[in-house]
Structure 1
Amino acid sequence: MLRDLASFPAWLAVALIALAAACTCAAILWTLLRTGLAWRLATDVPNDRSLHDAPTPRVGGWGIVPVVIIAVLLSAPGLWCAAVGTVFLAAVSQMDDRRGLPARVRFAAHLAAVVGLVVAFPANVPWWALVIIAFLMLWLVNLYNFMDGADGLAGGMALFGFAGYAVAALLSERPLPELGWSSAAVSGAALGFLFFNFHPARIFLGDAGSISLGFLAGALGYWGWRGGVWPIWLPVMIFAPFIADASVTLTRRLLRGEKFWHPHREHYYQRMVRSGIGHAKTALVWYGVMAAGITLAIMALDRTPVFQWCIVALWLIVLLLAGVVIDVRWRHFQSTLSDK
């Protein structure tokens, strides 16, 4: 398989893999909906913290994960540990989707997958640096789950984020085609999922999908940094909108003494939806922000480290200012409700 892909021009191979992944994922999810199996596997019943009104099957992971795993094992067998970790987390998360699992069990599974990858393929850095990297990867796994709450949002972030990985892997001074192919497969599968998830959503991602995507975002980002394909800031900047929203929201809740793993509706994207922007427009705004950040990150790849970190800092400031704008809009929205 590797030899066959290597015979294609790099960009054509990436495009073909993404297209095949999108079509296959869409076909799987269409079959699950058509046969009614989607409802039997896992169904999201809305509650007072949900942004949707009707029960919806959450089986996006059933389309994304098999496609990605097969693509990774065929095109990039060196990433077998990431594939194994993804399958493990998808299985545990599916049990959580179906029956619910205690938070400590879910966290233990996340920790095992992340530590397993880092221990099996350690980067050439001090042990304490690996501990920090593992913690950041663990946070990425969980924040992706936290951010899966609006139609088209998490799937769109995967589409753009892993496409950014694919482009960066090919444009790097030390290109790694296998990493680009794997990233393209994830991006394509996310596109296939979005056919059914963009507002009004007929399928949700579910924990089996969101946890798996969060792990893959961390695992492929770590793999690229470990192999010298990109600097450590690139995965952070590519997924910065998700990281900023989840991190600021978590910090606020911890300062108030709340349990951060409990469901809530305080994320910035949730406030955008609830304040009248709606699911579709919220998703499109986030797509634009994500695309802008990815473009800046890729443009900075061949610049000096100082310039790169200045771009990262500038982008984080832009995101924080965007958060301030959303907060102001939210307070105005609440004031109009109290006046009625």
Structure 2
Amino acid sequence: MVFWLLLHFVIALAGTWMARQYAIRRDLIDHPGERRSHDVPTPRGGGVAIVIALLVAACVLAWRQPQQIVLVAGFAVGLLLVAGIGMVDDHRPLSPWLRLGVQAVAAALFSVAVAATWGNVPLAMLAFAAVLVLTNVWNFMDGINGIAATQAALVGLGLAFVLGGVWGWLALALVAACLGFLPFNFPRARIFLGDVGSGALGFALAALLTISMAGASALPQGLILLPFSAFLIDSGLTLLRRFVRGERWWTAHAQHAYQRWVAAGRTHTVVTVAYAAWTVAAWLLVWRLTLMSEQQMTIWCMLWFAATVGVWAWLQYLHQPLDGPRAAANGKDTE
């Protein structure tokens, strides 16, 4: 296990360093703006190193576990499609509908692999939806230092223990790759994930989530959503509010709760750590709920998501952005 973790950590660490040099040479730079939460020009596209680490892991697992070849192949090809369209978008902005179309193809390929493996059509439909939702959720929520990679690492770590076996090893590879990327992104960002990385993280987690619901774990299915709650609620309610207001909901903005919190004066480090703490607490609750009855599980899940909605509303409406230089000083992404 130590060698496995070290391998993917080193791949991501070295790959992120090389991606940063490439981004600087090609002028792939995110510049500050009113729709961004940083005020220092920063290279993007570092998430390609995480993609490479995951592809290496998929190849190794396919070789060692040929009985899983169809599902692993569906994962690898889908990951390549999502990461590939994200990489193109990092070089030159694409239509959001084109990106969504490619993501839908990736989701369809993975769902076909799920159906071929288990013969379970409802599960395949769930896989399709999970890929589309989480790929975009992680893209939406990748707006401040470390938040997308830390959330992926924490969710992935829990899923590694839940799944075990082949897919548990893939989850560990995801965790190690995120840890290899984070020194370049947190607490000070020297490179961003880019669409290539954020979309890939969402896709990988969607695949692991689907497999956990396929009976690959003894965990009750509903509980597995709790560690995703911070990202699901923040992205989902923010998107819904923009849609209801008639705004161009598919365009970039800075209205997520975590962005409001930063704009109100908290540093990127504080907000990222707070989101991480929420996810850790969710995993602890999952462990505790496995000892309870089904009725108690349902009640606690409802209470947890209600609490998440309440925190979202508190951050949105009580942490209004500051004006002037103070906001820039407190909201900067260099600590």
> Match of 2:13?
26
Q: 1:107 to 1:332 in 2, by over 3 A?
A: closer
The answer to whether the Cα contact below 8 Å between 2:263 and 2:322 also exists between their aligned partners in 1 is no
- TM-score where L is the length of structure 2: 0.87
Secondary structure, aligned partner of 1:75: helix
Task: Check conservation: 1:18, 1:186, Cα contact below 8 A.
Answer: no
Report the CA distance between 1:125 and its aligned residue.
Answer: 4.9
Name the aligned partner's letter for residue 58 of structure 1: R
In 1, are the aligned partners of 2:155 and 2:279 still within 8 Å (CA)? yes
| Cα distance in structure 2, aligned partners of 1:17 and 1:157 | 21
Q: Write the letter of the residue equivalent to 1:277.
A: R
Following superposition, the deviation at residue 303 of structure 1 comes to 4.2
| Partner of residue 173 from structure 2, selected from 168, 185, 191 | 185
- Counterpart of 2:22 in structure 1: which amino acid? L
Instruction: Give 1:62's match in structure 2, choosing from 48, 52, 55.
Output: 48
Match of 1:47 in 2: 33
By how many angstroms is 1:234 displaced? Answer: 3.8
Specify whether residues 132 and 66 from structure 1 end up closer, same or farther in structure 2 by C-alpha distance, changes over 3 A only: closer
- Residue 150 (structure 2) aligns with: 156
- Report the Cα distance in structure 2 between the residues aligned to 1:124 and 1:297, rounded to whole angstroms: 28
Q: Distance in 2 between matches of 1:332 and 1:25?
A: 35
Q: Which amino acid aligns with 2:108?
A: V
Q: Deviation at 1:57?
A: 1.2
Which residue matches 2:22?
Answer: 37
- 1:312 pairs with 301, 304, 307, which one? 301
Tell me the CA shift for residue 180 of structure 1: 0.9
Q: For the Cα contact (< 8 Å) 1:151–1:197, is it kept in 2?
A: yes
- Equivalent AA in structure 2 for residue 120 of structure 1: A
User: Counterpart amino acid of 2:106?
Assistant: A
Given the alignment, which residue of 304, 315, 319 partners 1:326? 315
Asked if structure 1 preserves the Cα contact closer than 8 Å seen for 2:127 and 2:207, the reply is no
Kept in 1: contact 2:37–2:144 (CA 8 A): yes
Shift of 1:325: 2.4
Q: Distance in 2 between the 1:332 and 1:61 partners?
A: 29
Q: Which residue of 1 aligns with 2:134?
A: 140
3-state DSSP of counterpart to 1:257: coil
Shift of the alpha carbon at 1:120?
2.3
Return the TM-score normalized by structure 1.
0.85
Tell me the CA shift for residue 126 of structure 1.
5.5
The CA deviation at 1:188 is 0.9
The CA distance in 1 between the partners of 2:131 and 2:295, in whole Å, is 24
Is the alpha carbon distance of 1:235 and 1:110 closer, same or farther for their aligned partners in structure 2, counting shifts above 3 Å? farther
Q: Does 1:211 align with 2:199?
A: yes
**What per-residue deviation string (whole Å, max 9, x for no partner) do you get for residues 94-114 of structure 1?**
001101111111010111111
Cα distance, 1:198 vs. partner? 0.6
CA RMSD of aligned residues (A): 2.1
Q: Distance in 2 between matches of 1:190 and 1:183?
A: 11
Specify which of 257, 260, 264 is matched with residue 268 of structure 1: 257
State how 1:1-340 maps to structure 2 within 5 Å.
Answer: 13=1, 15-33=2-20, 36-40=21-25, 42-75=28-61, 78=68, 79-122=72-115, 125=120, 127=122, 130-131=124-125, 134-169=128-163, 176-229=164-217, 230-301=219-290, 303-331=292-320
Distance in 1, matches of 2:89 and 2:224, equals 28
Q: Which amino acid aligns with 2:45?
A: V
Unpaired segments ≥5 residues, structure 1: 1-12, 170-175
Kindly provide the amino acid, as one letter, of the partner of residue 39 in structure 1: I
Q: Give the counterpart letter for 1:140 in structure 2.
A: L
Work out the CA distance in 1 between the residues paired with 2:317 and 2:34.
24
| Identity level (%) | 31
